Structures are given as structure tokens and as C-alpha cells.
Amino acid sequence: MSMAAAGTTALAQRIRELAREKNAVILAHNYQIGPVQDVADFVGDSLGLSRQAARTKADLIVFCGVHFMAETASILCPDKRVLIPDLEAGCSLSDTLNAQQLAAWKAQYPDAVVVTYVNTSAAVKALSDYCCTSSNAVEVIRAIPEERPILFGPDMFLGAYASRVTGRKNLHIWAGECHVHAAVRPEDVERAREAHPGADFLIHPECGCVTSCMVYLKDKDLRQEDAYITSTEGMVNHVARSPKREFVVATETGILHRMRKETPGKKYFPVSAEMECRFMKMITIEKLLHSLEAGVHEVKVPSDIADKARLPIERMIAIGGSGGKD
């Protein structure tokens, strides 16, 4: 074992000891770095981790992900302490829609039902009727009566995908995007198709190439059975089940660690090696240890906002989606 690997193992052991002593649960998103995923109690997508937070018996939740995820856990568990190892771990998508903007948008469509992606601040959730994740956006939209207009935000690519799948015409979509996923262009998919002709394509619905991929799929240029537009958990589940040996993955590259670990012996290629979320990568194993040792950094949503944001999040948790393994 190298010196670096031995150091990581020692840190991981200390983290596990402290988690036991403090009755803490460590939740890690699929985009976290390998050592953080490896030391966590649960690794999953946004929906699965929200479900884990909602049902945990632990006294302390340490959220290895980005800020809105820790906020969601705090809203679901107002009596527990929720920590994030780095308070600066934000989300560029969440920043594209704030509460003032949503209030002004709602005022233009007073009859509309507001569906916001979980990648939003607690204040935005407090103004929403439903939250959703990439795992259940389609099911959430289908749960809303056909005649009711919907305001969907902030991710325009996920909104366009959900609109196409549901055929919903009265869906108004906010023009927000994630800098990591929006950068994937149809040309990246073309290049990967040439390089890996037998591979399955796994595409996150936040990607900038999703609309063109759906057009390809409709035209049978990209075979339906070779392309899957799905959440991070849907991708992990797909590679485990599929008889295919090669997969091209269009989402943040942290997910490849979990695929290689849980389904070894297959080949995984990122559609672009540049798909790294700098916010997710701010969480390190050293910061996780410090978080447990020093009890920092607490994320606590004020009760007036949390009380309003809880219902849309609970609706999200109750509606469909793969949402992670138990």
C-alpha cells in the first residue's frame, strides 16, 4: 500500500470511529470523490439521499454533497443536527433561480402549480408546490392534473426532457442550467459514438445534449435500446443489470467510481473528462474528519422557511423515482 493510501485508510478508520461515537450517519452523493464515497454509510442520488435523511435514526447527519442537499436534510429532520464539511460547496444551477425571481414569475401565472428541482435554495422550495429530482421529474409532472399550468425550474434541459416525455404543453420552463451538464454538446456524443460503437449511452437529463439525443432516438439514429436518459442512481442500476460491457457516461465523473466498485469488470468512459463539479469536489476526507471532530459546519434552515418547504419536499419523496438502494 502506498503512503498516501495508508494515510487515507487511517483517516477513514478515524471517521468511522467518530461516526459511531456520535451516532452520526454519513451521506454521500454519487459525485463525491472516491475516498468520501467509500467511508459513507450511504451513497446515492438526490432522491435516495433525501429518503435516507428522512428515515435515519442517527442524531447527526453529515452530508457530503452540496449545500441545498444539506438544507433539504435539515428541513426533513428539524430536530437533528446537519453538518456539511465545506460551507462553500454550492451549486451553479441552484443559483440561477432565487426566491425573488420565483415570486415574480408566480405573480405572472397565479393559477400555475410550481414544481422546482431539488437543486434550489430552501427559500425557493418554500415558494413551491412540489419539488422533484432528475429521478422523478416525469412522475411529479404526471401527478399534477392535466389542465393546471406548471411553472418548472430552474433546469431548462430537465424541463425540456420532462415536457417531451409527458407531452405536456402547459409547462413553462425557467432558463437555468448547470455549468457542468450544459457544456455537453451533441458533438461530444457523436465523438463518443464513433469511439465506442457497442457501448450503451447513459445521459443525465440536465445535459445540454439531451434534446438532440431525444431527436436522434425518435429518428432511430441512436438506437432506443442503446441510450438511457436517467438520474445518477438510474445509471448505477443500469450498468449492474445490463448485459453490455461498455458504457459512455454523460454526467459528473465522480459516478464512475461507484460504477467501477459495484459493477467491476466492465468499461466506463466519461463522455467528457471535463465533467467535474468543482463544488462537489470541495468535500475531502480531511474536511469530513474535521467536520465530525469539531461539529462543523451546521446547516440549519430557519423554521419559518423550513415549515413551508417541507410539504413540497415530502411530496417529492413520496412520488416514484429510482431514488437509491436501501
Q: Which stretch binds ligand 13P (CB under 6 A): 2-10, 18-26, 129-137, 217-225?
A: 129-137
Tell me which of 25, 42, 45, 275 binds ligand 13P, using CB under 6 A.
45
Residues 6 or more apart in contact with residue 10 via CB below 8 angstroms:
none
Task: Report d(CA 109, CA 93) in Å as an integer.
Answer: 23
> Between residues 181 and 258, which has the closer beta carbon with respect to ligand SF4?
181
Q: Which residues pair with 201 in a beta bridge?
A: 227, 248
> Between residues 39 and 235, which has the closer beta carbon with respect to ligand 13P?
235
Residues 6 or more apart in contact with residue 194 via CB below 8 angstroms:
none
The SS3 assignment for 217 reads: helix
Tell me which of 72, 74, 92, 134 binds ligand 13P, using CB under 6 A.
134
CA distances from 38 to 15, 200, 269, 289 (A): 11, 26, 21, 14
Task: Report d(CA 259, CA 183) in Å as an integer.
Answer: 23
> Between residues 61 and 66, which has the closer beta carbon with respect to ligand SF4?
66
Q: Taking the complex as a whole, how short is the minimal distance between the CB of residue 227 and ligand SF4, in angstroms?
A: 21
Task: Report d(CA 311, CA 302) in Å as an integer.
Answer: 15
- Residue 232 interacting partner from ligand SF4, ligand 13P, none (CB closer than 5 to 8 Å by kind): ligand 13P
User: ∠ CA 305-307-308 to the nearest 5 degrees?
Assistant: 70
| Residues 190-209, mask of contacts with ligand 13P (x by CB under 6 A) | ----------------x---
| Residues 248-287, mask of contacts with ligand SF4 (x by CB under 6 A) | ----x------------------------x-xx-------
Tell me which of 53, 76, 93, 127 binds ligand SF4, using CB under 6 A.
93
- Residue 279 interacting partner from ligand 13P, ligand SF4, none (CB closer than 5 to 8 Å by kind): ligand SF4
- Residue 92 interacting partner from ligand SF4, ligand 13P, none (CB closer than 5 to 8 Å by kind): ligand SF4
Q: 46 with 135: CB under 8 angstroms?
A: yes
Q: Which of residues 169-198 bind ligand SF4 (CB under 6 A)?
A: 178, 180-181
Could you tell me where the beta strands, DSSP code E, fall in 45-139? Answer: 60-64, 81-83, 113-117, 130-132
Provide the binding-site residues for ligand 13P, judged by CB under 6 A. Answer: 30, 45-46, 119, 133-135, 178, 206, 231-232
